[in-house]
Amino acid sequence: MSPLTVIFVVPLLGALLIGLVPRNYRFVIRSLALLATFVSMLTAIWMFCSFDPGQAVRGYQFVEQHAWAPSLGISYHVGVDGINLGLILMGAVVLFAATCVSWRIADREKDFYILLLLMGGGILGSFASLDLFFFYFLHELALVPTFLMIGLWGRGEDKTYATFQITIYLSAGALLVLLGFLGIYLQLPVDQRATVGFDLVELTKWFKAHPMPPGAQHWIFPTLLFGFGILVALWPFHSWAPPGYGSAPSATAMVHAGVVKKFGLYGLIRVALPLMPDEAQKWVYVLSALCLGNILYCGMVAMRQRDLNLLIGNSSVAHMGFAFLGIASLSLIGLTGTVLVMVAHGFLAALTFALSGYLRDEVKTLNIGEMGGLLSRLPFIGTVMIMAMLAGCGLPGFAGFPGEALVLFGNWDRSAVVTALAIWGALVIAGIYMLRAIRQIWHGDKTWTEAPDAPNLWRKFPFGLLLAGLIIFGCFPRLLTDNIKISVGPVVRSIGADPTDTASSPIPILRRR
Amino acid sequence: MNDPLPWLILFLPLLAAVLIALFLQGKPRLSALVSVGAVVVSFILSLDLLAQFLGGAMLSAKFNWLRVGHLTIDFALRFDALSLLMVLIVTGVGAVIHIYSVGYMKGDPGYPRFFGCMSLFTFSMLGVVLSGNFFQMFIFWELVGVCSYLLIGFWHRRPAAADAAKKAFLTNRLGDFGFFTGIILVWSMAGTMDFIRVREEMMRNPELFDAAATGVGLLIFCGAVGKSAQFPLHVWLPDAMEGPTPVSALIHAATMVAAGVYMICRVFFIFNVPALQIIAWIGGLTALMAGLIAVQQDDIKRILAYSTLSQLGYMVMAVGLGEPPAAMFHLGTHAFFKALLFLAAGSVIHGMSHEQDIWKMGRLKERMPLTFWTFLAGALALCGLWPFSGFFSKDAILALACEKSPTLFAVGIFVAFLTTFYMFRLILVVFFNRSKSDAAGHAHESPLIMVVPLFVLAAASIFGGFFGIEQFLAPQFAPAPEAASFFIKAAGFGFAAFAAGAVTAFALYFKAQSDPLPAQMQWTCGLLRHKFYFDEIYAELIDLTQESLAKAANALDFVLKLVIRALHGTAELTGRALRLAQTGNLQTYTLLFAAGIAVVLYFMLLH
């Protein structure tokens, strides 16, 4: 059995087992959840370490395939290459950390952990899947618990509306994606539908040999672009994200912002770009304009927030702009950067939402204006959060920096102006809102008497784990990029750009010699 | 090359920082020991390296950090005369200041945190100095920025310190925006970021950057403007004095702020003539402006901070005039005497129980003789009196200006006058005049662990001019300057400026109980006291641009939310309206059904 199957089935099995445990066995429920996510994380780490970079050129590793509905061309097919390797590792670590920090949940624990494990198992399975049907289905499996959890355990006065909004937006996005997938399927000749079917590897091969007609690409690509875009909060479809995360329980915000949201970016790289390269070329200009909306506009909105969760939410949306910018560069460097940004942002978003959840529980407020001087009271939590916030404004040493740098380098030849504006967003705007937040929350002379710091190693552990992820990949980015670039190469090649070079620049603003 | 020595020099301080952060939080003595030990060992190892270098060994070490497509980023250590000099300054002056801090920070609850940050800073600064390419330099550039941020805001409960830290980081970020853009530009045009290879490319193809050449140079220079606090980004450095005094000495006088000067010396080859001209003028302007402001400051550390700005302006001007060795020479001597001045000022502040206003001090010569004599040595070196080290380095810069640009030479001489004037004002008020406050009467000499470092630095400040730093560096920068390091004309004017400054200061401040100048020159002094209103102007500018944009974006976001709410409301209203049809009443349904049939029949029969 492939380790990939273990990674996502164990949490799902855990959910099933918890379902059988009586409601008042709270210790058993929590232990089961921790055990399941821990096993999943260990397997993911083992898989990451035993992934063979030498074999990466050949394609997927740890492949497992079983026929499921042969007449429709649907099979259970999992595999991992450089693109989803880091994502699965990050997802499994975030899921375990999210389970760890949920110890404060006291209300309907059983349902909470079932939903959390469904969410985590679902999205990990989706990232592992190489069959469009399972890819989509498992993502939906992760999405629906998100809505329920925000609705049931969410906080804040705007909770109901936030739940409503996130449900409508994300369902609409997912629906567009479904439409796009069906469109792709229908582009197959009838006799191929059973053999090629929904299998991503076969589909990629088929459409490489028989390019999709431009007429079909013309509507399928934008459908997928905006469908996936809505799921990742592409500007101007971002307004679900900040209030949604603001109201969500910490664990939900961690897993959704950190992991589930990456589905859209992953889908663009894995499905939309390689299958519809011609149309992708045409849309990158729109995409790079929109991602400036994320980087600049949402960054400025973040500056004006008074609520910590809304600030983090907006900053997280702004970070997604860099991931989109890397995709819009259509270059090997930029796309590699995108995948690195996805992994880095997963750790970072999970870490910041976990910390803000801690503050909400202990300090009883998330209003930045009411805080101040907390660093002396909460030295551990404060130090970790300051590090996270510095990581959020692109400090070297954390994984976000090499990711964003690659994106910016990769996009320079396509458009120097867009890149320069993005650098402004990365260095200056992000710096302003993060440093203002640090100043107002942690520094200052306000004295606190309540609000205890994380008391023991066990409570500190999840934060340390996520921070370690950021630092390890920040100091040694090659652990990820060496595999990413090999797997991204064919995607870039299929678009027609030479993977050894940057973008094939249609408008050479500054020509490379 | 797999020699572990270079790596040890770089990573020992990092190791110390990690150890302190993870294990030594509750152990102040041990954390100080680890931190001091790391920097001292680094210093000894770099002396060994110097010996190897003088013996003719070319040292470098590298491994690959990131490689994607044609983007290659190596992690390389580069040892040449320039970087070795800086390594020695950073570890040498750093070691002295670390030892001083053991006494100065005693009893502070954040003692281990202080030493952890100091070690992290030493590591980052060594990284900047040893970088072999632009990208690596940028990485460490950001790290020294964050260390500076952490240390300025070390007393984070003080709002002023916290604000100053934030201001320093953000102002530097503005400069880094230009720096990073410049780096990408260099990479996209030269295809590499390695210093040596970019230089080779430029030699092979002088037209490499053609139209963009000035732009590239100025963008890269932006980084130095931020880090070395040149006009117009100078505003953060005086505020940075909110940090503990050893931090001001190490980071905001001797090493980090000099990183900008070091960087433009390192990449000197990239600047063309127009860019160099702008650099020279920015340097001259900064030197003049800061010298003027220093004349009317009352905080002992702020006077020294403006003096640092002014001296950095000299160095930048020297680079702009085409002579990096002169700039580096002044950087080296300045590191000695400015660190000395700050540490001695720290000793004064320590003795005065944290009073920094010079008008509350007085007669400290009698109470703190050791501090006084060392401070005096530093001050004379700063004023450029023969045979103190500052004389030689300043003289080299003045001679250069004399030769290249008469206007800048005049500026340089006038700044020399200002320097002597404000330093003698400081010395007279603090050490000689009678004071009004009690604290001055109870002042006491500092403990030995703080005084010994003063003497070490005083010795370096006095004799630093004879080390031949300029000649050591010269071969690296063709064309080699003439061997003579004594320029009669410049030295003459320099001495005249010194004498004029000293005499004016004596005339105005000898036995003065308050500053007589504001009464005589109200308007000018107001301007100087308010630092030419830069802070106010910038606050207004930021409010007009960045803040208005942010407000607009936030308002737009709110409108967007309202639109979505309206959509939601419409959908819900439609739903409620349609619900009226679903009455559950059989008669209603029959009625609707019949009406429907009637409509269908009507259309069918009509056609």
- Which residue among B70, B185, B553 places its CB closest to the CB of A301? B553
Contact A409 B142 (CB under 8 A): no
Contact A333 B549 (CB under 8 A): no
Q: Is A73 exposed, middle or buried (0-12, 13-18, 19+ CB in 10 A)?
A: buried
CB atoms within 10 A of CB B561: 15
Q: What is the mean pLDDT of chain B?
A: 87
Chain B residues close to A378, C-beta within 8 Å? none
pLDDT at A41: 95
Contact B188 A478 (CB under 8 A): no
Contact B176 A427 (CB under 8 A): yes
Q: Are B230 and B224 in contact (CB under 8 A)?
A: yes
Residue A503 has pLDDT above 80, yes or no: no
The tokens 């980052």 sit on which residue? B124
The tokens 């009669």 sit on which residue? B488
Sign for the pseudo-dihedral over CA of B424, B426, B429, B431: negative
pLDDT at A497: 59
Chain B residues close to A304, C-beta within 8 Å? 550-551, 553-554
Min CA distance, A332 vs chain B (Å)?
Answer: 6
Size of interface A-B (CB pairs under 8 A): 145
- Which residue among A303, A409, A443 places its CB closest to the CB of B187? A409
CB atoms within 10 A of CB B188: 20
- pLDDT tens by residue, A274-305: 888 888 888 888 999 999 999 999 999 998 88
- Which residue among A239, A300, A402 places its CB closest to the CB of B553? A300
Q: By C-alpha distance, which of A11, A181, A2 is closest to A80?
A: A2
The two tokens of residue B467 are 């080390």
Cα dihedral value B594, B600, B601, B603, nearest 10: 150
Q: Give every CB contact of residue B96 below 8 A, 6+ residues apart in sequence.
A: B339, B343, B453, B456, B457
Q: By C-alpha distance, which of B228, B222, B218 is closest to B177?
A: B222
- Which residue among B65, B71, B208 places its CB closest to the CB of A333? B71
Give the gyration radius of chain B's Cα atoms: 30
Give chain A's end-to-end CA distance (angstroms, integer). Answer: 50
pLDDT at B313: 93
pLDDT at B483: 46
Chain A residues close to B153, C-beta within 8 Å? 443
Stretches in chain B below the pLDDT threshold 70: 1-2, 57-59, 436, 468, 478-486
3-state secondary structure of A64: strand
Residue A240 has pLDDT above 60, yes or no: yes
Chain A residues close to B17, C-beta within 8 Å? none
Chain A residues close to B66, C-beta within 8 Å? 402, 406, 477-478, 481
Q: Give every CB contact of residue B237 below 8 A, 6+ residues apart in sequence.
A: B168, B229, B252, B257, B305, B308, B309
Q: Which of A83, A161, A300, A436 to mutate to test the interface with B (most CBs of B within 10 A)?
A: A300
- pLDDT tens by residue, B347-357: 888 888 888 88
- Give the CA count within 13 Å in the CB-facing half-sphere of B146: 23
| Consecutive H or E run containing B256 | none
Q: Is B548 exposed, middle or buried (0-12, 13-18, 19+ CB in 10 A)?
A: exposed
- Residue in chain A closest to B208 (alpha carbons) equals A513
Q: Are A347 and A90 in contact (CB under 8 A)?
A: yes
Contact A336 B67 (CB under 8 A): no
What are the helix (H) ranges across A271-399? Answer: 273-275, 277-292, 299-303, 308-329, 332-362, 374-377, 379-392
pLDDT at B262: 93
The tokens 């409301």 sit on which residue? B569
Contact B153 A443 (CB under 8 A): yes
Chain A residues close to B549, C-beta within 8 Å? 300
Q: Which amino acid is at B46?
A: S
Average pLDDT over residues A350-372: 88
Q: What is the mean pLDDT of chain A?
A: 88
Chain B residues close to A421, C-beta within 8 Å? none
Contact A239 B564 (CB under 8 A): yes
- Residue in chain A closest to B568 (alpha carbons) equals A165
The two tokens of residue B336 are 């000695």
Long-range contacts of B474-478 (CB under 8 A, 24+ apart): B474/B325, B475/B81, B476/B80, B476/B81, B476/B82, B476/B325, B477/B268, B477/B323, B477/B324, B477/B325
CA angle B452, B467, B474 (to 5 degrees): 140
Min CA distance, B184 vs chain A (Å)?
Answer: 6
3-state secondary structure of A78: strand
Q: Which amino acid is at A97?
A: A
Q: Give the whole-angstrom CA distance, residue B76 versus residue B55.
A: 22
> DSSP code of B478?
S
| Of the candidate ranges A6-15, A345-354, B168-177, B547-556, the one whose mean pLDDT is the lowest | B547-556
Q: Are strands A74-80 and B59-68 parallel, antiparallel or unpaired?
A: unpaired
Angle between helices B389-404 and B406-427 (to 10 degrees): 150
Chain A residues close to B162, C-beta within 8 Å? 439, 443-444
Q: Which residues pair with B73 in a beta bridge?
A: B66
Chain A residues close to B560, C-beta within 8 Å? 236, 239
- At A18, the pLDDT band (50, 70, 90 cuts) reads very high
Longest CA–CA separation in chain A, Å: 73
Q: Are B338 and B325 in contact (CB under 8 A)?
A: no
3-state secondary structure of B154: coil
Q: Give the whole-angstrom CA distance, residue B274 versus residue B257.
A: 24
Angle between helices B324-351 and B300-320 (to 10 degrees): 180
- Give the CA count within 13 Å in the CB-facing half-sphere of A256: 34
Q: Which of B11, B20, B66 to mutate to test the interface with A (most CBs of A within 10 A)?
A: B66
pLDDT at B59: 65
pLDDT at A448: 81
- Which residue among A236, A301, A406 places its CB closest to the CB of B68? A406
- Give the CA count within 13 Å in the CB-facing half-sphere of B573: 6
| Consecutive H or E run containing A107 | none
What are the helix (H) ranges across B352-481? Answer: 364-367, 369-383, 389-404, 406-427, 438-441, 448-463, 469-473
pLDDT at A501: 46
- Residue in chain B closest to A161 (alpha carbons) equals B565
Contact A333 B68 (CB under 8 A): yes
The tokens 């990690």 sit on which residue? B18
Q: Which amino acid is at A417?
A: V
Give the gyration radius of chain A's Cα atoms: 22
Q: Which of B25, B68, B205 to mutate to test the interface with A (most CBs of A within 10 A)?
A: B68
The two tokens of residue B323 are 């002579």
Contact B68 A236 (CB under 8 A): no
Phi/psi at B76 (5° precision): -125, 145
A182-192 burial, b if ≥16 CB within 10 A, otherwise e?
ebbbebbeeee
- pLDDT tens by residue, A246-263: 889 999 999 999 999 999
Q: Are B76 and B132 in contact (CB under 8 A)?
A: yes
Q: Are B172 and B226 in contact (CB under 8 A)?
A: yes
Contact B69 A499 (CB under 8 A): yes
The two tokens of residue A334 are 């930029």
The two tokens of residue B148 are 């500076």
The two tokens of residue B406 are 């008469």
CB atoms within 10 A of CB B510: 12
pLDDT at B2: 58
Min CA distance, B3 vs chain A (Å)?
Answer: 21
- At A214, the pLDDT band (50, 70, 90 cuts) reads confident
Q: Give the whole-angstrom CA distance, residue A101 versus residue A88.
A: 20
CB atoms within 10 A of CB B111: 20
Q: Are strands A61-69 and B59-68 parallel, antiparallel or unpaired?
A: unpaired
Residue A498 has pLDDT above 60, yes or no: no
Q: Is B492 exposed, middle or buried (0-12, 13-18, 19+ CB in 10 A)?
A: exposed
- At A511, the pLDDT band (50, 70, 90 cuts) reads very low
Q: Give every CB contact of residue B521 below 8 A, 6+ residues apart in sequence.
A: none
Contact B561 A239 (CB under 8 A): yes
The two tokens of residue B411 are 């500026």
Q: By C-alpha distance, which of A459, A271, A337, A340 is closest to A90?
A: A340
Residue A73 has pLDDT above 90, yes or no: no
Residue A510 has pLDDT above 50, yes or no: no
The two tokens of residue A449 are 């008497």
